Amino acid sequence: MLPGRGRNGRGARLSRILGTRTAWASVGDGEFFCPGCGGDRNYQRLTGRRRFAVLGVPVLPRGETGPVVECAACRRHFGTDVLDHPTTTRLSAMLRDAVHTVALAVLAAGGTCSRAALETAVTAVRAAGIDDCTQEQLQALVEALAADTGRVQGQPCGPGLAIELHEALDPLAPHLAAAGRESILLQGARIALADGPYTPAERDVLTTVGAALTICSEDVSRLLAAARTPS
């Protein structure tokens, strides 16, 4: 028998003669979190033009394919939905903003900032990545926020503050595991508790935080009670 005459040999030979070739063209690029090689990488967004090929030469258009996202590091292709996932850099920036916003909201709800509350807030904000955060800075921001959000009219968690919290927390919530979301709420709770039990205004803010982080109300109550009894 001649080589290449077997069933598999013929199939392989045929696909070398007849097949579909895809020519990829870049339609954009950027940075994404590659689920293939696990890290922040550059990507190219590609659309493909499929052609029926004879002897490797494209002859008949077979339509468009893609778009796909190609990792610059591992060259693997993914659906464009991978771009919905933030990069590690973006995720830490979102976390930093979230903790900062929650700290400000809780401080603003507490009225005049006590030393203890400011200290706890600074520790939390620094741990989240804003290394140069100071008590004076937070105090100044809280005063600006109070002037801005209608706290003076007796609305501790007025619409302005609630919007700020949702803006900082809503985009983050889907990308965090339950423990990560609970940790943000607990950090807020500890700031509130630094100068005594929760005031109604602080509880109000923390409830808004919990809701924005998609923590159900029973869990919010459980976590707020747990924060009160430090282990």
Residue 178 makes contact with Zn ion by CB under 5 A: no
Rounded least distance, CB 92 to Zn ion, Å: 20
- CA–CA dist 127, 150 (Å, integer): 30
- CA–CA dist 185, 210 (Å, integer): 6
* Contact flags string 66-95 toward Zn ion, x per CB under 5 A: -----x-xx---------------------
Smallest CA-to-CA distance from 228 within 202, 201, 200, 189 is with: 189
Nearer to Zn ion (CB atom), residue 73 or residue 91: 73
Rounded least distance, CB 174 to Zn ion, Å: 22
Residue 31 makes contact with Zn ion by CB under 5 A: no
Residue 168 makes contact with Zn ion by CB under 5 A: no
Residue 34 makes contact with Zn ion by CB under 5 A: yes
22 CB neighbour count, 10 Å cutoff = 17
* Contact flags string 196-215 toward Zn ion, x per CB under 5 A: --------------------
Sole binder of Zn ion in the list 12, 17, 25, 37 (CB under 5 A): 37
Rounded least distance, CB 96 to Zn ion, Å: 25
Crossing angle of helices 200-212 and 217-228, rounded to 10°: 130
- CA–CA dist 172, 82 (Å, integer): 16
Instruction: With CB under 5 A as the rule, give the number of residues binding Zn ion.
Output: 6
Residue 36 makes contact with Zn ion by CB under 5 A: yes
Q: Which stretch binds Zn ion (CB under 5 A): 15-23, 32-40, 144-152, 192-200?
A: 32-40
Rounded least distance, CB 81 to Zn ion, Å: 15
227 CB neighbour count, 10 Å cutoff = 19
Rounded least distance, CB 87 to Zn ion, Å: 12
Per-residue CA distances from 108 to 53, 104, 142, 154, 197 (Å): 67, 6, 5, 12, 15
Per-position DSSP letters for 26-64, written without gaps between them: EEEEEEEEETTTTEEEEEEEEEEEEEEEETTEEEEEEEE
Rounded least distance, CB 143 to Zn ion, Å: 47
Binding site for Zn ion (CB under 5 A): 34, 36-37, 71, 73-74
